[in-house]
A and B are shown apart, each in its own frame.
Chain A
Amino acid sequence: MKNQTPWLPVVLWTLISLATLFPIYWLFVISVKQPFDLFSTPDVILRSFFWKNYQDVLTNPTLRGYMLNSMIISSGNALLVTTLGFFACYALSRFDLAGKESIFFWTITNRMAPPAVFLLPLFLLLTQVYRIGDFSLADSRLGMILVYCSFNLPFAIWTLRPTVEGIPKELDEAAYMDGASPWTVLYDIVFPLARPGLAVTLILTWVFAWNEYLLAATLTNFNARTLTTGLSEYVTTTGTAWGIMAAISMLTLVPALIVFSVVQRHIVAGLTFGAVKG
């Protein structure tokens, strides 16, 4: 579909991008302003740059640790739920399992309730029930990866289901008739066609895990603390260190952008539906 007026989308998107970027630009402004300047009359154009916030953040080993934890937990969880979600969707789509509509609906109910009250049972479970000897799931990266499944796995299943359902079962049949095993069908036939959906699911579950605050704050103490919990430390009764929080946020855009760029090209990985006609 060749576009007759190539400049129109560019203009439109430039305007949209300005609206999208303004708050992020403002975040940047906050990160390079002196603290007392934040609460005087604002100017849009910066006159001076106060880089100390960035220096403080980059030289802070604790924050680096938080960033590492966030990367591990988010990436681990995103991969886990996308994989398990894919399996689950395949099962729900290709097999005639008893009560599958109910199961499908039930998975998403795990994501429906506001999290505040669920913190207490999760806290009790992680610290006292899910443990082997001295090792408990509390304050561990593994624990957080598993706990995050409670909201990310339903999301993965719900987002992947239309994708998997949209891949014609006839393709599977054709492969089985050729003597393929179920795993081959899954990996060689269904997986490639589901790539855009899988990529989007991977990105979005990664984002949800990356941004999660409440569970991380409650269920971690020292070892598995994430960037979002690190951010909340700066919101105190003697003042919110807006500048540092803004600097940290600007810096977290970097790993996120890297993850995005790696996964994004799979979203529009040109497909042909020509394998089976009608």
Chain B
Amino acid sequence: MNYVLKASALALTLGLATTASPARADFWSDAGAKYKGVTLHGVTESTPPSNYIKNVLAPEFEKKTGIKVEIETTSWDQMYDKAIKDMEAKTGIYDMVYIEQDIIYSYLARDFLVDITKTLKDQPDLKAPTYDDSNFTSFADYFKDANGDLFGTPMEAFLKTYLYRKDLFDDPKIKEAFKKETGKDLKPATTHAEYTEIAEFFTKYGKDNGMELWGTTAQAHTGHPASWYEFFESIVPTFGVYNWGIDAKNNYAATVEHGGTMNGDKAKAALKYWLHLRDIAPPESTQSTWTETATTFAAGRVAQGLIYGENAAWIASDPAQSKVVGQVGFALPPLEPGVLDDAKAGKGYIGYYDGGAFGVPVTSKNKEASLLFLEFIGQNEVQPEWAIAAPRITNKATFDDPKVKEMDTKLGGFYTMLKDEGKLFAGAPPYPFHAQVREATAPIFYDILTGKIGADEGLDQMAAKAEEELTSLGYRK
């Protein structure tokens, strides 16, 4: 890993040196001259894309501008808590904060962040020639306010999508057995019925042949929100229930009685479908979050699964962590009829577009210097090496870079899918109460998972609880 970082740093330096004309190379040192000696403090999670910023981009930036950047890496819970405390108490500790896509709306509602677009317009000498808002993929839209102003520069973006084992799907013995049992050809599922059929087949095949093999993953942890997320972000949209079934335009109704869809027929069908998958998934699924499903897939224990993009990449390409390198195929998740058309028309979506950005709190004491750093990491030039070290793409131009294209083939077409189908996926709904409603309804969801409550009854209770929480928070009148 260190070797890769060192190689990236070297490549980055060379890349910047050759692509930058003398006039551009001066922008950074000129702009940075005003803030020489300043140290910027950022807080983020310790994931590969953030570590790349900390280990490669920050030192590069310091070399060019003389501005030091210190990135604090901490756990997911802590990162939110500390950023929020800092911005809430206005202590000005952080100049940059990581903004996960699902928290941006909470931050925007509280006016915590600096308006990047507006600031760059008001202070043109701050704007780098190699930076432009329009360079980003559609993912950047999630960090814009109603006027289209950007409040965070995307630094990682992934899709949670359908992975399957190409080697198992291409194996003649298995294909024959599948045909014999179902009368159909074995290929990646496009509907829920097909997916279930394939999953049941593989679980049975694994059992009959004494293999440690099951037909599907299930992120079904009975005490961690990961299960709640899989259901609401990845499963129900494929049945046509969007934004968790809460209708923001209808006084935030969640129950069917009040006009919501959280406990409607489609949601209930989705839950039945998913619970059945959980039943034929490997036993560790009851303790599985997004990382365990990834390691389960990487250990070769399942034939298919819904896996987050940031994990999909290493599952497909890193032999140190994965036993199924080169055997991973990507496809769109199975859908109910009509959902794909809705998504194409922009009325719905088929899955989760995950990711994060870096933003500047309004309480920062070094706003201008921080914006320079955000522009630096948002440039097209730094993206390809970044994408290779920590698989993620946030800029449109990166898709066409030859090295990235080469990696795409190794990844089985993951980047191509991100480029072509990214618009069918969506981030979290624009709710400032994201974490609050999740925490309020999750305990009931866990009870559904343990069988303490029935599925239908559980969803009814969850919808009622969501409305109760929304009322208590003051959003629902």
Contact = CB atoms under 8 A, between A and B. Distances in A.
B295 A236 contact: no
A5 interface: no
A128 B47 CA distance: 31
Contact of A221 (B46, B72, B311, B321): B72
A127 B321 CA distance: 42
Contacts of B45: 236-237
B322 A36 contact: yes
A237 B76 contact: yes
Interface stretch (B77-85, B239-247, B373-381): B77-85
A40 B290 contact: no
Interface residues of B, number: 40
A222 B299 contact: no
Nearest to B323: A36
B48 A238 contact: yes
Contact of A39 (B70, B73, B78, B296): B296
Nearest to B39: A222
A229 B89 CA distance: 22
Contact of B41 (A222, A232, A234): A222
B370 to A, nearest CB: 16
B75 interface: yes
B75 A36 contact: no
Nearest to B1: A56
Interface in B267-313: 284, 290-292, 294-296, 298-301, 308, 310-311
Nearest to A41: B212
Contacts of A18: none
A38 interface: yes
Contacts of A217: 74-75, 78, 82
Nearest to A232: B75
Nearest to A219: B82
B70 to A, nearest CB: 6
B301 A240 contact: no
Contact of B85 (A39, A40, A218, A229): A218
Contacts, number: 90
Given A39-B296, A218-B78, A232-B75, A238 B212 contact: no
A251 interface: no
A36 B295 contact: yes
B108 interface: no
B81 A40 contact: no
A221 B39 CA distance: 14
A239 interface: yes
B47 A237 contact: yes
A120 interface: yes
Nearest to B94: A221
List 8 A-B pairs, minimum CB-CB distance, nearest first: A239-B291, A232-B75, A39-B295, A233-B46, A35-B321, A40-B299, A238-B47, A238-B310
Given A39-B284, A39-B298, 8 more contacts: A36-B322, A36-B323, A40-B300, A56-B1, A56-B2, A217-B82, A232-B78, A233-B73
Interface of A: 34-41, 56, 119-120, 123-124, 127-128, 138, 217-218, 221-222, 229, 232-240
15 contacts: A34-B320, A36-B298, A39-B296, A56-B2, A119-B81, A119-B85, A123-B91, A218-B81, A221-B82, A229-B78, A233-B46, A233-B74, A236-B76, A237-B45, A237-B47
